[in-house]
Structure 1
Amino acid sequence: MVSPDSGKQTILVKLDLGNTELKYSPGDHLSVIPKNSPQIVTEMASLLNVDLNDSFTLNGSGKTSSYPIDCSIGSALYSYIDFALHHYNRRQLVTLLQYLIQNTQLRKEKRSLLRFYLSIQHHTKGASVQQYLLNKYVTILDILKHYKSTITFEQLLTISPIMKPRFYSIASSLSVHQKEVHLCVSVVNEVHTNGLLIEGVCSNFLSRCNKGDLVQAQVHPTCFKLKQNNPIIMVGAGSGIAPFRGFWEEANSNGHDKPLVLYFGCRNEQDFLFQGEIKALSLDIQVHNAFSRRPGLPKTYVQDKIYETFGGPWELILEGAGYLYICGDAKMAQGVMEALRKRLQRERKWDVEQAKNYLDTLENNGFILQDVWGHT
């Protein structure tokens, strides 16, 4: 979806709904339960000295009930165990250290592990434990590869969180793509400050999928819905453009005849997602691009563009005669609201509190809608 020169990988995932009864509207979310990569599963099996084809049966309730009654070790490692270290809580990490201390046969390593274990007992919160480990490792596999000691498969089951679904904004309209749901996915492959590779579990899982592969997913309705035949302003950055693709597809098929404005932020022209599709629409969309990484030019973000181009459709939004949609990370959304507050202060001679209260009222009455995520 982006130029090969971009240095980023963003993919459009098309899932066939087949004979399912799954229904959705543009703006809804799709949760996807990913699978771990074959590489991490193979490495983990080798460290644990287990055969992926062997089966096991769990007794008890609670977390263990999340596994099938008869489950193969391979299935558990691929589909159920979450290896991402930032999903482990303090208790789980402390127990991992206890297992490593218990299992190691090396006195030097045991002393090192004991010193760390004793030091964290003085902390009542998990932040120090997690932060220390996250500064050095990315997954639980990284920890096991670092130490000569290891843990058993049974011990891994007792401490590891179950794989949780990842949520995506749906990037299609069912009226245009019948029996399909599309996702706009930024594939995460970044280098941690410690030199280790951070691989997004779900984004890489989706990028590995081939035609015919099954994906476990579920639709989650939201309030982030297109208000047909009203002035619309859409603000997004990166994959935050996803729900707006569904919006303009829906609007295009339904003969939307009111102002439709898109503010889209990305690094440069090569990262401008769906630009070919937008140009091919019979719908008239006014597009404002904000490029933050163009050589020799100052960084520009969507909030900067909003402040510069304030007027026209914005007046309709601020009078409650249109709708503003914001999709992206929390920092970007905060910047957008800040830009609007400053313009309101300037245009209407209001103080900070008056402008803020006015925007809060618009949002509470449903004229400003946000689909925003934080950083985890």
Structure 2
Amino acid sequence: AVLALGSKLYPDFCKAGNLIEKKLIEEGGARTLMQLTCVDELKGSHSSISQWITMVSKLVMPPSLDAQLRLARGNKHDVPVLHRVKWNRVSMDISRHVHTHAWDEEETMLCKRNDELVIGALISNHSTRCIAFDLPEGITYESGDHLAVFPENDILLVKRFCNCFVHELKDAFSQSNGQVRENSSHDEALIWQMQQLFSIEGEADGELFPVNASFPTPLSLLEILQIHVDLALRQSYLTDFLSFLLSRLESVHADLLVHEQVIRFKSLAQQIVQENRPDMEGHIVALIALFPTIVHFLEAFGCIFCKPLGDEQSSSPLISFADVLVFLPRLKPRYYSISSSAMASPTEVSITVGVVNAKTSEGVVVPGVCSNYLAQLTPGDRVKVAVRKSSFRAPSDMETPIIMVGAGTGLAPLMGFLEDRALSLASVGGDNTKKAAPCHLIFGCRSNRDRLYSEKISGWESNGVLQLHLALSRHVAVPKMYVQDKLKELGAELCELLMREDTQYFICGDAKMADSCYESCVKVLQKYGNLSRVAAVQRLIQMRIQHRYHYDLWGVTSQFSNDFLGSNRKRRSQKGREDANAWMGRYVTSRYSGEALEDSIHS
């Protein structure tokens, strides 16, 4: 029985699982226990994986053994796993200040420039930056590739996490065999202990065993929190984490369970951990809106779990920092579209970064981990980054008509394409430039002050490299317009381009914007091409199959999830499911074009 994981956004959906099953059957002589199960990340994987495990268990578990296990579970509680912190030999070579992590030089690139692109913007408010790095010798890229950035968690957030466990860390500090000053301040003790190396062991029923965590040990708490673990509260582990905390409360004396925060925590947690609740995902979304990071959560409920609940002299905290660390997933790299041209700058690579400072539905401000990390860089800083190849490529033939759509930082990869085009046209010169097919850039931003790379783009427009169509959504004395509106405004001209057999369409940016632009193209084809909706949708899908409809989007999974959950958090509406499936149908790869056509027509 093979469970294959993947996303239909990518061309080789669940290919690894398919190959494994094929090899097991053809070369291993295995018989299939059940049909290959493919899980699409877009539709959520947690419930599908749980169903697969249940199904396999029923197929392979003898009924008598299953009955015995059920009986055993009913008569005996699971043995709780405790996580023991094992501190290494005390190191006295410790800084009195907390510094950001220093990567090894061979795995980094040198920051060359970090320029603000929006006039008068602050990092905390609508900042968009162009950040350039020197390419190490032997590293190359092409326009359209991505730069993987390995971020660091904000040092203040790291210290806030440690402050939640100050009781445990100060206790470890005071047991350092007198090698440190007893009169050290609170901050000195915390900073000193954060930089000591430790490892984690699991203990259950008196037996010790290694712990499977997202980071290696021994390491310092400072290094683990800065570069190894994701501090965002994630749905992937939330249910297990809350169940663990509820189990720890079982050891608390009944008199202490009337604590106001205990009652609040149990109310929130039980809405999520109870099985088969149809509204569970809605409660998860609501909880994460209240506590977007594990630090927010611990600061709210640390008085229950991270400090002695009751008499400090006779009790210990219910959990240790190790109990939390083992749940946290790995801090993953973020991928940014490269905005420089390999033709123009073969030894330098640049990205365009919109600095994120989001606000949840509960009003909690959450700074973007990677964008804020990048925004703080200064020339000379070393950053762990790596070039990642992409299939997102502009045509090299200057006689190919091109439509480019981008809003905000969605302009990033298009800048590399346009600079390549400008250099190619300049190299042929003369009358050959006039023979080049049209290149339309539909760019959207709030106002003229938010126009990115405006001087470059104006220069290219003057030289005939592109035709600019600017959509301003918040400019004074100008009607509000978005890129999807500008596409409709192009009308017959856009329709003619979409009806050609050689036109290439590129769209970059937010997934919701891309969806609106898709609808605009359908409406233009209907109005100016005299096509039915079925035929208009078929036309765009045909462009996808022919690899002439390209996208580089972010927020795809969240857009699907928003539609799938619907506007009502209490339940998933059938309408939400239909909208979500239709939306995904527009962006799945060509091998699913039949499904895409059916869903898009239905929408």
Normalised by the length of structure 1, the TM-score is: 0.90
Q: Do 2:145 and 2:392's aligned partners in 1 also have CA atoms closer than 8 Å?
A: yes
Q: Residue type of the partner of 2:367?
A: E
Q: Is 1:326 paired with 2:507?
A: yes
Q: Which runs of 5+ in 1 are unaligned?
A: none
- Secondary structure of the 1:328 match is strand
CA displacement at 1:312 relative to structure 2: 4.3
Q: How does 1:103-118 map to 2 (within 5 A)?
A: 106-107=256-257, 108=259, 109-118=261-270
- Does residue 36 (structure 1) correspond to residue 204 (structure 2)? The answer is no
State the AA in 2 paired with 1:156: V
CA distance in 1, matches of 2:449, 2:216: 45
**Distance in 1 (alpha carbons) for counterparts of 2:498 and 2:414:** 17
After superposition, residues 302-313 of structure 1 pair within 5 angstroms as 302-312=483-493
What pairs with 1:1-376 in structure 2 (closer than 5 Å)?
1-4=117-120, 7-19=125-137, 21-49=138-166, 50=169, 51-58=193-200, 63-64=212-213, 66-86=214-234, 88-95=236-243, 97-98=245-246, 101=249, 106-107=256-257, 108=259, 109-124=261-276, 127-147=281-301, 148-149=303-304, 150=306, 151-228=319-396, 229=398, 230-255=400-425, 257=433, 258=436, 259-281=438-460, 282=463, 284-312=465-493, 315-374=496-555, 376=558
Q: Deviations over 1:148-171 (max 9, x none)?
A: 132422112111111112111111
State the 1:84 CA deviation. Answer: 1.3
Contact 1:58 1:69 in 2 (8 A): yes
Q: State the SS of the aligned residue for 1:309.
A: helix
TM-score computed with the length of structure 2 as normaliser: 0.58
Q: Distance in 2 between matches of 1:292 and 1:357?
A: 31
Letter in 1 for 2:466: I
Name the aligned partner's letter for residue 118 of structure 1.
Q
Distance 1:56 1:202 in 2: 27
Which of the two has higher C-alpha Rg?
A: 2
> What per-residue deviation string (whole Å, max 9, x for no partner) do you get for residues 182-207 of structure 1?
11111011333433221000101111
Runs (5+) with no aligned partner, structure 2 = 1-116, 170-192, 202-208, 307-318, 427-432, 559-603
8 Å contact kept, 1:186–1:203:
yes
Q: Secondary structure at the match of 1:85?
A: coil
8 Å CA contact retained: 1:83, 1:140: yes
Q: What SS does the corresponding residue of 2:382 show, helix, strand or coil?
A: coil
Deviation at 1:85, TM superposition (A): 1.8
CA displacement, residues 333-376 of structure 1 (integer Å, 9 cap, x when unaligned):
12212111111112222111011101110121012111122264
Which amino acid counterpart does residue 55 of structure 1 have in structure 2?
L
Aligned residues: 374
Secondary structure at 1:110 match in 2: helix
Q: Is the 8 A contact 2:239 2:272 kept in 1?
A: no
What displacement does 1:70 show?
2.6
Whole-angstrom distance in 1 between the partners of 2:230 and 2:539: 44
Tell me which of the two structures has the higher relative contact order, counting C-alpha pairs closer than 8 angstroms and 6 or more residues apart: 1
Q: CA deviation at 1:328?
A: 1.2
Deviations 1:259-286 (A, max 9, x none): 2221001111111111112123445321
What amino acid maps onto 2:237 in structure 1? N
Tell me whether 271-280 or 240-249 shows the greater mean CA deviation: 271-280
Note the C-alpha offset of 1:12. Answer: 0.7
Query: Identical aligned pairs, as a percentage?
Result: 30
Root mean square deviation of aligned Cα: 2.5
